């Protein structure tokens, strides 16, 4: 897979390991047959510990129940819930029944839920009852008041005309919903026979999953993914970490996102590793407790999650020595955070992965054999069976080391955005290249570095400035825990740089001290003109920083 001496920024992942030609249901059954008595799913907050055989029994019973409800292959079924065992059961049961699982962000509120259900025409919805400040049952009955009086399975709602069935996880508080635990009992011998007959008819290129991409502008887009897309991506991601049936993967990232359900759940299914959910949502203390109690060997998270664990006042109390590998991804991974995770959390084999929902998600990943500098400063090399090129504004491939837009092609590229041919055509060109919108470089050895987002690039007085570079520099300051750099409008220079800085616990710093730290170390035009100290950053549920919100706040303040 290694490529060296490149003369252009084009790489392809040659591999002797073939792509998997199964549907998710077929591959799941192979795993169950291979490791029936090994632990498959551990859900700490629910006290659940199932072997592959036990998990498969739950999945098959729930799938038969979905068939009994009259759901047909190709129909869409939404899931709106934080992490729990029911989420995992639903993921694999829908795949076996040929249903398209629609992942709905647990942070969504009424208008977003309304949009998601109607955009893809969900016929059924699996919903949690409540989580933190989210009253899912209350929001659902507000949006669909008909739920308070209809019979379960017979919803006819004005706001969501296609939605007929609501299945409620946990308490039974919605009159017109089926309790989740009642569904497995609905499927009998006839439904199981229908599932068995359906299995071989399902094709691996069938759409199986719709994920809404968190649009920073405009309405979210529903990336439509197939069995082939996500099963193979889960496999190769876990393969790069050398996961085996001996591993226990701690998954504190949300399941509704590719990080949880593909890199997590499907990565474990393809390798027989145990899926470990520490809680419904991320909590640094609960995650540390889980790693110790379950002797987890691998850990996933976005950089802010690793920072929160290592900076937790009780961090030193926990034994994390069983950890070996994992993935830091989801947003740019600061070099200093990577180094700390390797030193403090025993994550000597931690990898960085890069990708996007539309590419299932991973395109690049660092390898365990990569030298330390490559593993902390790049996102590694191209994944097997994929291609990548870096292009300029005219679409021409650039020389190695030159920044440009990263484009990906191969088995991982989505089918398209559901019901949106126009935006699909904007993202995927005629040659099937997915245009990521990310600025990147590829060096002569094939290692990729993400420079930033095209729209995040700041042009100050004619100079192109990449915020990522300044963030990496500021992370070296011993008193800075986290930092985000972005551009704000300026009459003289067109744009000026602003840094939002989060300090380590108990530390102080002034704006001038931050600028003094930069002087003589980075070019004068890269030194932030504005510095603000913040307690937290606006971000999506998956840990992606929302710089557009930071920018809006500064524009308002500076106006």
Q: What does the pLDDT profile of the chain (559 residues) look like in tens digits?
A: 457 789 999 999 999 999 999 999 999 999 999 999 999 999 999 999 999 999 999 999 999 999 999 999 999 999 999 999 999 999 999 999 999 999 998 888 888 899 999 999 999 999 999 998 889 999 999 999 999 999 999 999 999 999 999 999 998 999 999 999 999 999 999 999 999 999 999 999 999 999 998 654 467 899 999 999 999 999 999 999 999 999 999 999 999 999 999 999 999 999 999 999 999 999 999 999 999 999 999 999 988 899 999 999 999 999 999 999 999 997 778 888 999 999 999 999 999 999 999 999 999 999 999 998 899 889 999 999 999 999 999 999 999 999 999 999 999 999 999 999 999 999 999 999 999 999 999 999 999 999 888 888 888 887 878 898 899 899 999 999 999 999 999 888 889 999 999 999 999 999 999 999 999 898 888 999 999 999 999 988 777 889 999 999 999 999 8
Q: How high is the pLDDT of residue 490?
A: 87
**Among 184, 178, 59, which residue's Cα sits nearest to residue 124?**
178
Based on the domain organization, do 429 and 551 belong to the same domain? no
Q: Do 376 and 483 sit in the same domain of this protein? A: no
Residue 47: CB atoms within 10 Å? 8
The answer to whether residues 366 and 475 belong to one domain is no
Token duo for residue 149: 């009086």
Distance CA 482, CA 334 (A): 9
Tell me how many degrees the CA angle 66-72-78 measures, rounded to the nearest 5: 60
- Both 317 and 347 in a single domain? yes
Classify burial at 87, counting beta carbons within 10 Å of its beta carbon; exposed 0-12, middle 13-18, buried 19 or more: buried
CATH of the domain at 548: 3.30.300.30
Q: Which residue is associated with the tokens 């005309």?
A: 161
Is 328 part of any domain? yes
Q: Which of 167, 185, 213 is the last residue of a domain?
A: 213
Residue 253 lies in a domain: no
Closest Cα partner for 383 from 17, 5, 9? 17
- Polymer length of the chain: 559
Q: Where are the alpha helices (DSSP H) in 182-223?
A: 189-198
Radius of gyration of the chain (CA): 24
Let me know if residue 242 belongs to a domain: no
- 545 in a domain, yes or no? yes
Please tell me whether residues 162 and 291 are part of one structural domain: no
Answer with the one of 453, 484, 501 that is the final residue of a domain: 453
Is position 181 within any domain? yes
Is 526 part of a structural domain of the chain? yes
Judge if 170 and 302 occupy the same domain.
no
231 assigned to some structural domain: no
CA 24 to chain centre: 19
Other beta carbons within 10 Å of 150: 18
Structure tokens at 220: 């979210």
Determine the Cα–Cα distance for residues 13 and 332; give it in Å rounded to an integer.
22
Query: Is residue 174 classed as helix, strand or coil in its secondary structure?
Result: coil
The CA distance from 38 to 120, in Å, is 37
67 with 184, same domain? yes
d(CA 258, CA 455): 23
Quickly tell me which residue has 């029936």 as its tokens: 36
Tell which residue, 371, 410, 365, has the closest CA to residue 389.
Answer: 410
d(CA 95, CA 202): 9
Strands (E), 169-310: 178-179, 207-213, 221-226, 248-250, 274-277, 298-301
CA dist., res. 320 & res. 168, Å (int): 36
Please state, in angstroms and as integers, the Cα–Cα distance from residue 113 to each residue in 157, 251, 272, following that order.
Answer: 14, 25, 34
User: Which pLDDT does position 455 carry in this prediction?
Assistant: 83
- Is the distance from CB of 265 to CB of 88 less than 8 angstroms? yes
Give the domain CATH number at 89.
3.40.50.980
288 and 394 within one domain: yes
358 and 439: one domain?
yes
Show Cβ contacts of residue 437 under 8 Å, excluding neighbours closer than 6 positions.
405, 453, 454, 455
Same domain for 110 and 181? Answer: yes
Total of domains in the chain: 3
Domain that holds residue 296: 10-17+282-453
Same domain, 465 and 418: no
DSSP 131: B
Q: CB-hemisphere CA count at 13 Å for 330?
A: 25
What is the rounded CA–CA span in Å between residue 423 and residue 46? 41
Domain identity same for 369 and 430: yes
Orientation angle between helical segments 110-119 and 136-143, nearest 10 degrees: 70
> Tokens in use for 68?
């009994």
Write down which residue in 213, 238, 259 finishes a domain: 213
Distance, in Å, from the CA atom of 117 to the CA atom of 127, rounded to the nearest integer, reads 12
């Amino acid at each position: 897979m290694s490529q060296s001496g490149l003369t252009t920024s084009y790489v392809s992942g040659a591999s002797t390991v073939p792509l998997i030609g199964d549907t998710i249901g077929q591959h799941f059954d192979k795993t169950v047959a291979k490791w029936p008595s090994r632990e498959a799913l551990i859900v700490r907050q629910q006290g659940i510990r199932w072997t592959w055989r036990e998990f498969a029994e739950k999945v098959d019973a729930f799938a038969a129940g979905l068939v009994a409800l009259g759901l047909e292959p190709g129909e869409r079924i939404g899931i709106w819930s934080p992490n729990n065992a029911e989420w995992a059961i639903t993921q694999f049961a829908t795949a076996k029944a040929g249903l398209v699982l629609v992942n709905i962000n647990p942070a969504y509120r009424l208008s977003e839920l309304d949009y998601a259900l109607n955009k893809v025409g969900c016929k059924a919805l699996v919903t949690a009852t409540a989580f933190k400040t989210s009253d899912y049952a209350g929001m659902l009955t507000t949006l669909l008041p008909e739920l308070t009086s209809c019979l379960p399975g017979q919803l006819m709602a004005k706001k969501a005309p296609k939605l007929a069935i609501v299945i409620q996880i946990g308490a039974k508080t919605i009159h017109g919903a089926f309790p989740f635990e009642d569904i497995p009992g609905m499927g009998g011998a006839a439904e199981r026979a229908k599932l068995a007959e359906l299995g071989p008819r399902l094709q691996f290129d069938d759409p199986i999953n719709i994920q809404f991409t968190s649009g920073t502008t405009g309405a979210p887009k529903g990336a439509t993914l197939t069995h082939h897309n996500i099963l193979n991506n889960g496999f190769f991601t876990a393969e790069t970490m050398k996961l085996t049936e001996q591993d226990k993967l701690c998954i504190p990232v949300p399941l509704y996102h590719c990080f949880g359900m593909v890199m997590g759940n499907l990565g474990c299914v393809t390798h027989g590793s145990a899926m470990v959910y520490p809680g419904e949502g991320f909590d640094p203390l609960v995650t540390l407790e889980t790693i110790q109690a379950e002797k987890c060997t691998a850990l996933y998270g976005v950089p802010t999650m690793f920072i929160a664990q290592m900076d937790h006042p009780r961090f030193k109390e926990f034994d994390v020595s069983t950890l070996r590998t994992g993935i830091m991804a989801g947003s740019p991974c600061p070099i200093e955070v990577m180094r700390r995770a390797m030193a403090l959390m025993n994550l000597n084999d931690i990898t960085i992965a890069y990708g996007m929902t539309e590419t299932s998600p991973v395109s690049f990943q660092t390898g365990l054999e990569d030298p330390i500098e490559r593993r902390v400063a790049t996102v590694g090399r191209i994944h097997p069976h994929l291609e990548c090129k870096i292009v300029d504004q005219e679409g021409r491939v650039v020389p190695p080391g030159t920044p440009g837009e990263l484009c990906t092609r191969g088995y991982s590229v989505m089918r398209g955005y559901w019901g949106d041919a126009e935006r699909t055509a904007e993202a995927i060109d005629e040659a099937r290249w997915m245009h990521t919108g990310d600025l990147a470089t590829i060096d002569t050895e094939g290692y990729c570095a993400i420079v930033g987002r095209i729209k995040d690039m700041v042009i100050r007085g004619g100079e192109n400035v990449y915020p990522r570079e300044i963030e990496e520099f500021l992370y070296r300051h011993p008193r800075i825990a986290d930092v985000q750099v972005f551009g704000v409008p300026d009459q003289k220079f067109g744009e000026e740089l602003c840094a939002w800085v989060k300090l380590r616990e108990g530390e102080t710093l002034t704006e001038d001290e931050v600028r003094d730290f930069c002087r003589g170390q980075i070019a004068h035009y890269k030194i932030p003109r504005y510095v603000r100290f913040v307690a937290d950053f606006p971000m999506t549920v998956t840990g992606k920083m929302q710089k557009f919100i930071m920018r809006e706040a500064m524009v308002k303040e500076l106006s």
